[in-house]
Amino acid sequence: MSAPRPKKSRGFSVATVPPVLSVCLIVKNEAACLERCFASLEGLAADLPRELVVVDTGSCDRTVHLARHWGARIFHFPWIDDFAAARNFSLQRARGDWILVLDADEQLTAAAHRDLPPALGQPDVLACQLLRQEVESDGAPYSLITRLFRRRPDLVFTGTYHESVDDALAGIRAQEPHWRIAALPQVALLHDGYRGDRRAQKSDFAHRLMTNHLQRHPTDVYMLSKLGALEVQRGHLPAGQALLERGWALCQQYPPSAAICFELLYHLGIAATELGDIPRAIAHYHAALQQPIPDLLKLPAHHNLGTLAQQQGDSSTAIAHYRIALDLDPSHAPTLLNLGLTYRGAGDIPRAIATYRHLVHCHPHHALGHQNLGVAHWHLGQIPEAIAAWQVAHQLHRHQGNLQAAAQLQEHLTDLGVAPSQP
């Protein structure tokens, strides 16, 4: 997969030959997902020279063997609780003109296959931001991250956890203002590292690294936002809210990017909701929506505002926010589920059924979607359709390990004289 570097001209490069792309990863025990990541690169244009640079930080599974099989140049780096240090070690080993940084649990999309090569040919672009979509995550489904950039010695990562090149980019552009930051227009990365089965493994590790980082850098607004959000997620509400409010206070003195402001306000909204302060939560979400960021990134704020309105019995406001969210992503499962519940609560059963049908069409393995579709059919007296949906839901709950939900559905079906479906 490697290729020799093309010769460069002075000043802006003239693309007589395609630039070389170095795909850089740091890995540890990633055999379960590494091949999906590598396979996703195969859709890139055949005439785009590229190399794989893999830095292993201590794997004891087949990670290194798989990387070698895919033609990667493999290096070893002793883990020192510092993601930026490991990333920068990988950059130092790269030989390409451009760097694409991936995690082993990420895959490049077909849209990126189309949009990435032209971006490399723009002479005034220093870096490109990529839209990343979280797969099966309960949190914000989209983020904008800078993972594609020119290789140069002063373009490096900072941050022991949630590391980024954004500080380096800001410093370079302050000295060389002709450079600009571009963004690929469509989702470029799929990330499945926050699935339920992996989230718990990362929580304690992330907490330790972010806590250590903030002890050394107590005014890092980005890390305050990340650690505050994690504390809220772990149920440590006062500690999480305090970190988030500390971050927001620093924003007033040293304004960070709009994306960081949005994230702080969004998580402050979640914290206020968990603490029962609904008016403050709503205010935080509305303030988040005022930030000048891509609309797609605002989807979770609209979803949460819809949820709060739904809980307060304000179905019209809930539906309005859910529709905005679905305009941004028509397949967003949590919003489709809640919109169906809102329609059903408002007595609009046909619209509830249509919403649930769309949900299970987009996500055939969504057990609650099938289950609620059955409830909606039951309300209209459509008994065979209700039973069929509940049988599918029962099977999905059981296969997904939701044994209590499966048992409750089985009891309900038995009371109706119907046997649960068999696999």
Q: How far apart are CA 204 and CA 39, in angstroms?
A: 30
Which residue segments constitute the domains of the chain, with CATH numbers given? 21-194 (3.90.550.10), 330-423 (1.25.40.10)
DSSP-derived pairing of the beta strands 180-191 and 106-108: antiparallel
Structure tokens at 166: 């954004």
- Contact criterion met (CB below 8 Å) for 418 and 387: yes
- Spatial strand order in the sheet of 98-101: 73-76, 50-56, 21-27, 98-101, 142-150, 125-134, 180-191, 106-108
pLDDT at 411: 92
- CB neighbourhood size of 361 (10 A): 12
- Contact criterion met (CB below 8 Å) for 61 and 43: no
Alpha carbon distance, N-terminus to C-terminus of the chain: 43
Report angle CA 86, 131, 140 to the nearest 5 degrees.
90
Q: How far apart are CA 324 and CA 28, in angstroms?
A: 40
Tell me the residue ranges of DSSP E strands in 48-205: 50-56, 73-76, 98-101, 106-108, 125-134, 142-150, 180-191
Mapped to the 3 state alphabet, what secondary structure does 216-274 carry? HCCCCHHHHHHHHHHHHHCCCHHHHHHHHHHHHHHHHHCCCCHHHHHHHHHHHHHHHHH
Q: Is residue 283 classed as helix, strand or coil in its secondary structure?
A: helix
Q: How far apart are CA 149 and CA 100, in angstroms?
A: 7
Residue with tokens 């802006």: 12
pLDDT at 12: 45
Residue pLDDT tens, the chain, 423 long = 444 444 444 444 444 567 999 999 999 999 999 999 999 999 887 878 999 999 999 999 999 999 999 999 999 999 999 999 999 999 999 999 999 999 999 999 999 999 999 999 999 999 999 999 998 777 789 999 999 999 999 999 999 999 999 999 999 999 999 999 999 999 999 998 765 555 666 788 899 999 999 999 999 999 999 999 999 999 999 999 999 999 999 998 888 889 999 999 999 999 999 999 999 999 999 999 999 999 999 999 999 999 999 999 999 999 999 999 999 999 999 999 999 999 999 999 999 999 999 999 999 999 999 999 999 999 999 999 999 999 999 999 999 999 999 999 999 999 888 876 655
pLDDT at 137: 73
* Stated pTM of the model: 0.88
Residue with tokens 């619209």: 351
